[in-house]
């Protein structure tokens, strides 16, 4: 229950804060949520990781679908994705997931008592 | 808190943020690009995007509506001129902002500011920015801007337009920036009237900057007068001038006289001092030109005139042109517009249609300057030392300190080449440039007046504003009039003035005056019932002024031949003519080539390709192999003939494309056929056989690569302005080429095709190789390209007030204040 709630909260707050701040604000959110909702370190990491994997991966996938792949097809050639829109979505998702996961991990350790 | 694990994980997190956020790999950080809420994902427009919206701006005077059709062409209904131009600026910016900024940054010599001083192997600082500034682009834009703003109509137009552009820019958030800003890592700045003036100067560079004076001077030094005249004749043989041969011209209003020293100091052939000359870092495409024609009611099925125009320019994405309709209580104009400038440029209104082709006159000359010393503070002029004026150009460079270029200005104009900039000459000369574009003028006024012109007199008043770049302006009206004026403000020159670099130590070689406007060649309602131009000479040698410049003649020749023959003309006939792939140059060359080719000595490959060439229907259509054979053979033939005589000059400006063809047509013992490096005397059969022997392996390899059909060989493509293939459209299946009415080369050709039938209900067709939305993530980015490549057109919807509920309306923007 804590796990699911913290994933949801991380994803939602990350989405909201990115409406007003730059992309790295997701680290702040993941860190704060991990402090507010105490979980074992691995679980916190997974919270941040999964939340952004779903948020960024989901957003990118949704946008790409509505766009009918027009831009991703071009960007995936320009950027080192070998023309694969899927790879571009995956890298997008992983980037957010890793940053958020590490920030959540740090939050978990910050809160953790010996 | 567990300090060590905390520190490590925090450190890793920050490290990731830095790595994903670094500008060291790409100009824009990867995370900024890929963040779904900030980066390029935001430019991935939904396929079912809805542009309908209500917008409100305090700058607007009243309400306006914009209706978009399914091609995203906006039909603007405004209550007054200012609002119309504001909305035009807003729409241009909304759909093409990056292109507008990029073009005008380039014209201003500010590319280093956004792209750095080097991109790959391109030396942006020296070959673009310093060059344009030294050419006086910014200087001349500032001068013209004063004239534009002194006229109340054009001031209103530009102010309103700029306000609209800025309204869009101000509404942008970082995540809404166009893709290219994100990729290149910068942001737009405010728009100004100066940028519109700069854009017009950029068009002047592209269209009135095609001289080859340095190259001609090098050729003059290496060749005798007779040889030079054979290679760079004053008039080609197969010329059908814009104004027909036999036209009587008035006595000239400006009588020019060559200086006394011209024969000894200037027309001094074969000096061959070994002098070298500067090379212009960038030249406009020498095929920058166009076709236009108009046929009157006696030749058409409808009984009303039809006007056609297709400007030939570099083919880029986003396209140079943006299609739109503007309707105010004063006028209703439809046509191709320039993002960066207000007005409709090539199009029509409810009374008439108008279109232009490039005049191609040499309005840029160079003068050799003698500075007193290395300080360049004074130069020799009319026997005394005259003081230079300096203009300091501050060139900002992304990521580096600013570069300062101090440019000397003389009585002629800026000193473009001297010791401080790119002077390859080995005798320490400095060159000032006198360019007609430096003279202030108000071309914006022409757009203003043409868009609302009701008749021939209005059109004539409008085009008088066109000084540079000179254009052959075609006109047709519903009342039956057709006309053409070879319009511009052109220097009155003596024979060969300006073909070569001129002495600049005194005033005797200066331009002695401008040709009075009324003396520009023109025609109104000619007996032959059509007017046309395709960049050929405006008139024959009886015209009382020297016509220096570059004038291809083949398209004009074939267009006139067809128009003479045609009758009962429909708009479809005109579209067929615009997309016609007939190669008249090949038609003229083939008989003499066949006559002089020794077929008995052929091997199997040579016979195969020669037969294809002989049986060819002379159309450079997409799937034909013969155009490949002819093109490769002719290239090798030119090398075979010219390399020995001209190789040391190293220029492609000499000779003219017509020189070889006309040389061998006139006389198969054409002097240049002989290879001066060999003891024997080569003849046409020898040279032709040698060229063909070299050509066949190239053709064979093309065939093996699957490229022996004309479209694949030519490989027409439309490149994004950054040249990135991912954002471009490559390998387009279209025929045509140089000297052909459908003048489509690899990256240059008909950038807009328009056919307008001036019936009471105007019937118009148009297409351009691009799309209305400059966003590569939009479905509207390149939506017209396939239609254009297939030689098809769209019927242009001239929307009326009552059409509001028409099902062709896809989106609606309501503007209010």
| DSSP-assigned letters across all residues of B790-811 | TT--EEP----GGGGG-TT--E
Point out the residue among B20, B44, B179 whose CB comes nearest to the CB of A63: B44
Confidence at residue B210, expressed as pLDDT on a 0 to 100 scale? 87
- Residue ending a domain, among B708, B740, B771, is B708
Which pLDDT band, with edges at 50, 70 and 90, does B425 fall under?
low
How many CB pairs below 8 A link A and B? 122
Mutate which: B22, B35, B719, vs A, most A CBs within 10 A? B35
Q: Which residues of A touch B21 (CB under 8 A)?
A: 24
In a domain, B437, yes or no: no
Confidence at residue A95, expressed as pLDDT on a 0 to 100 scale? 94
Contacts of B244 (CB under 8 A, 6+ apart): B526, B528
Out of A68-77, B254-263, B484-493, B673-682, least confident range: B673-682
Contacts of B791 (CB under 8 A, 6+ apart): B575, B579, B734, B742
Chain A: residue nearest B36 by CA? A60
Rounded CA separation B44/B209 (Å): 39
Confidence at residue B231, expressed as pLDDT on a 0 to 100 scale? 87
- Phi, psi (5° rounding) for residue B692? -65, -40
Residues of A (82-101) whose Cβ lies below 8 Å from B: 88, 91-92, 95-96, 98-99
Residues of B (781-800) whose Cβ lies below 8 Å from A: 781
Confidence at residue B424, expressed as pLDDT on a 0 to 100 scale? 60
In a domain, B346, yes or no: no
pLDDT tens digits along B748-773: 999 999 999 999 999 999 999 999 99
| Mean pLDDT, residues B74-79 | 98
The SS3 call for residue B410 is: coil
Asked whether residue B279 carries a pLDDT value surpassing 70, the answer given is yes
Instruction: Output B741 or B273, whichever has higher pLDDT.
Output: B741
Contact assignment for B16 to A102 by CB distance below 8 Å? yes
Contact assignment for B41 to A99 by CB distance below 8 Å? no
Q: What is the DSSP string of B420-448?
A: TB----TT--EEEEEEGGGS---HHHHHH
pLDDT tens digits along B174-193: 999 999 999 988 999 999 99
Contact assignment for B13 to A102 by CB distance below 8 Å? yes
Distance from chain centroid for Cα B133: 19
pLDDT tens digits along B139-176: 999 999 999 999 999 999 999 999 999 999 999 999 99
DSSP state of B265: I
Rounded CA separation B407/B438 (Å): 15
Contacts of B402 (CB under 8 A, 6+ apart): B394, B395, B396
Residues of A (34-93) whose Cβ lies below 8 Å from B: 41, 55-56, 59-60, 63-64, 66-68, 70-72, 74-75, 77-79, 88, 91-92
| Mean pLDDT, residues B404-427 | 87
Q: Where are the beta strands (DSSP E) in B377-499?
A: 378-381, 384-387, 389-397, 400-409, 415-417, 430-435, 471-477, 482-487
Contact assignment for B46 to A66 by CB distance below 8 Å? yes
Contact assignment for B1 to A112 by CB distance below 8 Å? yes
Out of B15-24, B121-130, B417-426, least confident range: B417-426
Rounded CA separation A72/A86 (Å): 9
- CATH number, position B34: 1.10.439.10
Q: Which residues of B touch A67 (CB under 8 A)?
A: 44-47, 777
Asked if B749 and B736 count as a contact pair (C-beta separation under 8 A), the reply is: yes
- Residue ending a domain, among B708, B734, B762, is B708
Confidence at residue B653, expressed as pLDDT on a 0 to 100 scale? 80
Q: Which long-range contacts (CB under 8 A, 24 or more apart) does B16-19 make?
A: B16/A98, B16/A99, B16/A102, B17/A24, B17/A27, B17/A99
Confidence at residue B273, expressed as pLDDT on a 0 to 100 scale? 64
- Residue ending a domain, among B674, B708, B742, is B708
Asked whether residue B741 carries a pLDDT value surpassing 80, the answer given is yes
Asked whether residue B284 carries a pLDDT value surpassing 80, the answer given is yes
In a domain, B79, yes or no: yes
Residue B697 CB neighbour total at 10 angstroms? 11
Q: Do the bridges between strand B316-317 and strand B716-720 make them parallel or antiparallel, or are there none, so unpaired? A: parallel
First vs last Cα of chain A: how many Å apart? 24
| Mean pLDDT, residues B190-198 | 98
Confidence at residue B236, expressed as pLDDT on a 0 to 100 scale? 78
Asked whether residue B426 carries a pLDDT value surpassing 60, the answer given is no
pLDDT tens digits along B599-633: 999 999 999 999 999 999 999 999 999 999 999 99
| Mean pLDDT, residues B424-433 | 76
pLDDT tens digits along B565-586: 999 999 999 999 999 999 999 9
In a domain, B678, yes or no: yes
Give the H/E segment covering residue B136.
Answer: none
Asked whether residue B549 carries a pLDDT value surpassing 90, the answer given is no
Q: Where are the beta strands (DSSP E) in B80-129?
A: 118-119, 122-123
In a domain, B54, yes or no: yes
Contact assignment for A95 to B30 by CB distance below 8 Å? yes
Contact assignment for A23 to B35 by CB distance below 8 Å? yes
Omega before A95 within 30 of 0, i.e. cis: no
Number of domains in chain B: 2
Contact assignment for B32 to A23 by CB distance below 8 Å? yes
Range of the domain at B606: 584-618+625-708
Rounded CA separation B630/B627 (Å): 5
Which pLDDT band, with edges at 50, 70 and 90, does B271 fall under?
confident
In a domain, B465, yes or no: no
Contacts of B482 (CB under 8 A, 6+ apart): B294, B295, B296, B305, B307, B474, B475, B476, B524, B525, B526, B529, B530, B531
Asked if B246 and B671 count as a contact pair (C-beta separation under 8 A), the reply is: no
A7 CA: distance to closest CA in chain B (Å): 18
Confidence at residue A114, expressed as pLDDT on a 0 to 100 scale? 53
Confidence at residue B423, expressed as pLDDT on a 0 to 100 scale? 65
In a domain, B597, yes or no: yes
Q: Which residues of A touch B13 (CB under 8 A)?
A: 27, 31, 99, 102-103, 105-106
Asked whether residue A53 carries a pLDDT value surpassing 70, the answer given is yes
The ipTM assigned to this model is 0.95
Asked whether residue B344 carries a pLDDT value surpassing 70, the answer given is yes
Mean pLDDT of chain B: 94
**pTM of the entire predicted model:** 0.95
Confidence at residue B121, expressed as pLDDT on a 0 to 100 scale? 86
First vs last Cα of chain B: how many Å apart? 59
Asked if B478 and B760 count as a contact pair (C-beta separation under 8 A), the reply is: yes
Q: Which residues of A touch B50 (CB under 8 A)?
A: none
Rounded CA separation B216/B655 (Å): 9
pLDDT tens digits along B33-51: 999 999 999 999 999 999 9
Point out the residue among A68, A92, A98 whose CB comes nearest to the CB of B36: A92
| Mean pLDDT, residues B206-224 | 90
pLDDT tens digits along B639-677: 999 988 887 777 778 888 888 999 999 887 888 888 888
Confidence at residue B803, expressed as pLDDT on a 0 to 100 scale? 94
Express as a percent the part of chain B with pLDDT over 90. Answer: 82
Confidence at residue B630, expressed as pLDDT on a 0 to 100 scale? 97
| Mean pLDDT, residues B226-251 | 88
| Mean pLDDT, residues B691-705 | 96
Which pLDDT band, with edges at 50, 70 and 90, does B588 fall under?
very high
Query: What's the alpha-carbon Rg for chain A, to the nearest Å?
Result: 15
Contact assignment for A95 to B34 by CB distance below 8 Å? yes
Omega before B469 within 30 of 0, i.e. cis: yes
Asked if B396 and B384 count as a contact pair (C-beta separation under 8 A), the reply is: no
Contact assignment for B43 to A71 by CB distance below 8 Å? yes
Contact assignment for B37 to A59 by CB distance below 8 Å? yes
Q: Residue B484 region, left (φ>0) first, then alpha (ψ -120 to 50), else beta?
A: beta
| Mean pLDDT, residues B429-456 | 96
């Amino acid at each position: 229950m804590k796990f699911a709630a913290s994933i949801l909260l991380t994803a939602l707050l990350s989405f909201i804060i990115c409406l007003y701040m730059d992309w790295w604000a997701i680290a702040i959110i993941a860190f704060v949520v991990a402090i507010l909702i105490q979980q074992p370190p691995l679980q916190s990491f997974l919270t941040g990781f999964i939340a952004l994997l779903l948020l960024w991966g989901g957003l990118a996938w949704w946008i790409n679908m509505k766009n009918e792949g027009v831009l991703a097809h071009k960007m995936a050639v320009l950027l080192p994705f070998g023309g694969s829109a899927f790879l571009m979505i995956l890298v997008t998702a992983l980037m957010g997931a890793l940053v958020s996961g590490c920030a959540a991990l740090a939050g978990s350790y910050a809160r953790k008592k010996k | 808190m567990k300090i060590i694990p905390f520190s490590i994980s925090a450190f890793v997190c920050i490290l990731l943020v830095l790595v994903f956020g670094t500008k060291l790999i790409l100009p824009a950080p990867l995370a900024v690009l890929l963040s779904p809420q900030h980066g390029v994902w935001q430019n991935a427009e939904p396929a079912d995007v809805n542009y309908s919206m209500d917008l409100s701006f305090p700058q607007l005077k009243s309400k306006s509506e914009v209706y978009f059709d399914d091609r995203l062409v906006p039909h603007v209904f405004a209550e007054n001129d200012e609002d119309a131009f504001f909305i035009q600026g807003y729409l241009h910016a909304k759909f093409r902002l990056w292109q507008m900024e990029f073009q005008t940054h380039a014209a201003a010599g500010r590319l280093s500011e956004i792209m750095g001083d080097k991109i790959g192997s391109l030396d942006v600082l020296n070959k673009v920015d310093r060059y344009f500034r030294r050419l006086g682009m910014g200087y001349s834009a500032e001068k013209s801007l004063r004239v534009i703003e002194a006229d109340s109509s054009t001031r209103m137009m530009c102010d309103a337009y700029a306000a609209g552009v800025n309204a869009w820019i101000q509404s942008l958030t970082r995540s809404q920036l166009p893709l290219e800003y994100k990729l290149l890592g910068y942001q737009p700045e405010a728009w100004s009237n100066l940028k519109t003036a700069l854009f017009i100067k950029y068009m002047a560079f592209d269209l009135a900057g095609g001289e080859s004076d340095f190259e001609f001077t090098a050729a003059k030094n290496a060749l005798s007068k007779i040889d030079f005249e054979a290679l760079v004749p004053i008039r080609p043989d197969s010329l059908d001038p814009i104004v027909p041969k036999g036209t009587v011209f008035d006595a000239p209003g400006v009588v020019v006289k060559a200086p006394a020293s011209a024969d000894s100091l200037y027309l001094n052939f074969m000096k061959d001092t070994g002098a070298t000359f500067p090379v212009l870092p960038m030249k406009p495409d020498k095929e920058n030109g166009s076709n236009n024609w108009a046929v009157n009611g006696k030749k058409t099925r409808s009984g009303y005139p039809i006007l056609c125009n297709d400007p030939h320019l570099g083919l880029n994405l986003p396209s140079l042109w943006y299609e739109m309709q503007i309707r105010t209580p004063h006028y209703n104009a439809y046509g191709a517009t320039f993002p960066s400038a207000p007005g409709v440029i090539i199009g029509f209104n409810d009374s008439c249609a108008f279109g232009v082709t490039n005049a191609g006159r040499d309005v840029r000359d160079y003068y050799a300057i003698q500075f007193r010393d290395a300080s360049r503070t004074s130069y020799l002029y009319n026997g005394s030392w005259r003081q230079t004026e300096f203009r300091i150009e501050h060139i900002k460079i992304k990521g580096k300190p600013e570069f300062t270029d101090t440019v000397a200005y003389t009585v002629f104009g800026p000193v473009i080449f001297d010791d401080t900039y790119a002077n390859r000459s080995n005798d320490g000369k400095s060159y000032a440039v006198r360019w007609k574009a430096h003279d202030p003028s108000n071309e914006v006024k022409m757009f203003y007046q043409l868009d609302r012109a009701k008749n021939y007199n209005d059109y004539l008043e409008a085009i008088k504003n066109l000084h540079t770049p000179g254009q052959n302006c075609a006109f047709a009206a519903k009342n039956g009039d057709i006309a053409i004026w070879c319009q511009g403000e052109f220097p009155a020159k003596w024979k060969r003035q300006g073909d070569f670099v001129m002495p600049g130590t005194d005033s005797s070689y200066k331009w002695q005056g401008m040709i009075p406007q009324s003396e520009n060649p023109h025609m109104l309602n000619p007996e032959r019932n059509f007017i046309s131009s395709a960049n050929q000479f405006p008139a024959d040698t009886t015209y009382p002024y020297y016509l220096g410049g570059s004038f291809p003649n083949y398209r004009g020749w074939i267009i006139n031949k067809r128009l003479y023959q045609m009758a009962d003309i429909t708009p479809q006939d005109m579209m067929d003519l615009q997309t016609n792939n007939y190669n008249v140059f090949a038609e003229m060359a083939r008989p003499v080539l066949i006559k002089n080719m020794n077929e008995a000595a052929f091997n199997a490959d040579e016979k195969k390709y020669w037969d294809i060439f002989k049986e060819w229907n002379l159309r450079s259509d997409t799937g034909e192999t013969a155009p490949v054979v002819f093109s490769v053979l002719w290239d090798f033939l030119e090398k075979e003939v010219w390399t020995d005589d001209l190789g040391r000059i190293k220029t492609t400006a000499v000779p003219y494309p017509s020189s070889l063809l006309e040389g061998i047509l006139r006389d198969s013992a054409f002097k240049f056929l002989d290879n001066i490096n060999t003891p024997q005397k080569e003849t046409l059969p020898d040279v032709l056989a040698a060229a063909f022997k070299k050509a066949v392996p190239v053709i064979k390899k093309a065939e093996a690569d699957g490229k022996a059909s004309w479209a694949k060989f030519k490989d027409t493509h439309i490149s994004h302005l950054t040249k990135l293939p991912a954002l471009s459209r490559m390998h387009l299946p279209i025929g045509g080429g140089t000297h052909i009415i459908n003048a489509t080369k690899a990256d240059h050709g008909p950038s807009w095709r328009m056919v307008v039938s001036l019936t009471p209900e105007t019937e118009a067709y148009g297409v351009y190789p691009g799309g209305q939305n400059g966003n590569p993530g939009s479905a509207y980015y390149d939506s017209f390209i396939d239609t254009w490549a297939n030689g098809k057109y769209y019927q242009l919807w001239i929307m009326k007030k009552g059409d509001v509920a028409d099902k062709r309306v896809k989106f609606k923007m309501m503007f209010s204040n």
